[in-house]
Structure 1
Amino acid sequence: MTAASLTHRPASAGDLGEVITFVENPDELFFAYPKAAWPLTVGQLAAVMAERRDSTVALLDDRVAGFANFYQWQHGESCTLGNLMVAPWARARGVARYLVGVMEQLARHHYKAHSLRISCFNANTAGLLLYTTLGYRPQAIVERRDPRGLRVALVQLEKALE
């Protein structure tokens, strides 16, 4: 059996129909794109992609398996990762870890960023565990409301890229 091959490239409009299938329920959508309305549509994702920078897809054995971008970017300072989504069939196969690493490189090279920031809701256990394993450290906890109006904690994490 051969090892899975992970690569990446800039996301294109043609990828969006596949990417919207990555979120399987309203909670997953809230974790990845809190301002979106369920179900995620190509139009919603295209609009956010136009507002953000460096939308990137990860490919697992040449199949689109992950998506991420930056929703904040400050040249010479920091970038903030957003819309991280992994296809259900590709989860637990290293796609998110790989894609975060790619985004760290993009932040360093495109923006000369000294740090990468990531926000993760308290109920997103997999995300919190992944980010802390990758060296991200909590900086703040901010109160937010979920789509049902319930209080949730948004954990803001950061990692130095130097």
Structure 2
Amino acid sequence: MYSHRSAVNEDYKTISLFPQDARELFFVYPKGSYPLTAAKLQEVAQSRVNPLVVLDNGVIVGYGNLYDVSEDECWLGNVIIRPSYRGKGVGRYLIETMKAYAKSELSVKRFRLVCHNINTKALLFYTKLDFKPFDVKVMTDNEGNEMIGIKMEVRL
């Protein structure tokens, strides 16, 4: 069974190695450049709410945080799972943990995220967790390619 805790500065070196290429990093952190550095990830985390790591017997296997928290909504960001743990329930554990925090600690009613149209696995995953699309935005990746960011939410 997985556990979780707040991320600490020493965690970011490990987490920064999770994105396997520039495209994957774009999905996690659209403003980032590959390879991601621990310092950059730590800098981003300082402006976020509840940076959280998921652990398997003390090993960091997942990461995420919240941003743009308002009275009734918050946004999930920077979600990344250790490559060897993908498809093993870490993402579900992370999302459910973050949703519980958002509901109990932030008292928000809407839990939101942006998922890119070309990230089919993530779209399927979030749909299984009852996220529903509510808007779209045009985005440009770090190579100048346009894509759609699908805004999704689940009610808490």
TM-score by shorter chain over 0.5: yes
Question: TM-score, normalising length from structure 1?
Answer: 0.94
**Structure-to-structure mapping, 1:104-115, within 5 angstroms:** 104-115=99-110
- For residues 121-145 of structure 1, the C-alpha deviation after alignment (integer angstroms, 9 at most, x for no partner) is 0111111011111000000111111
SS of 2:133's equivalent in the other structure is strand
8 Å CA contact 1:66–1:84 kept in 2: the answer is yes
Q: 2:54 is matched with which residue: 54, 58, 66?
A: 58
Q: What is the aligned partner in structure 2 of residue 39 from structure 1?
A: 35
Q: What is the aligned partner in structure 1 of residue 75 from structure 2?
A: 80
Percent identity of equivalent pairs: 33
Distance across 1 between alignment mates of 2:39 and 2:59: 22
Q: Alignment length, in residue pairs?
A: 156
User: Which moves more between the two structures, 132-141 or 57-66?
Assistant: 57-66
Structure 1 runs (4+) deviating above 6 angstroms are: none
Distance across 2 between alignment mates of 1:125 and 1:72: 25
Q: 1:20 is matched with which residue: 13, 16, 19?
A: 16
**Structure-to-structure mapping, 1:64-143, within 5 angstroms:** 64-75=60-71, 77-143=72-138
Q: What is the aligned partner in structure 1 of residue 7 from structure 2?
A: 11
Q: How far 1:150 sits from its partner (Å)?
A: 1.1
Distance across 2 between alignment mates of 1:28 and 1:51: 22
Where structure 2 has 5 or more consecutive residues not aligned to the other structure, the ranges are none
Q: How far 1:24 sits from its partner (Å)?
A: 0.6
Distance across 2 between alignment mates of 1:138 and 1:130: 13
8 Å CA contact 1:60–1:95 kept in 2: the answer is no
- For residues 61-117 of structure 1, the C-alpha deviation after alignment (integer angstroms, 9 at most, x for no partner) is 321000000121113x01100000000111110000110000101101111011100
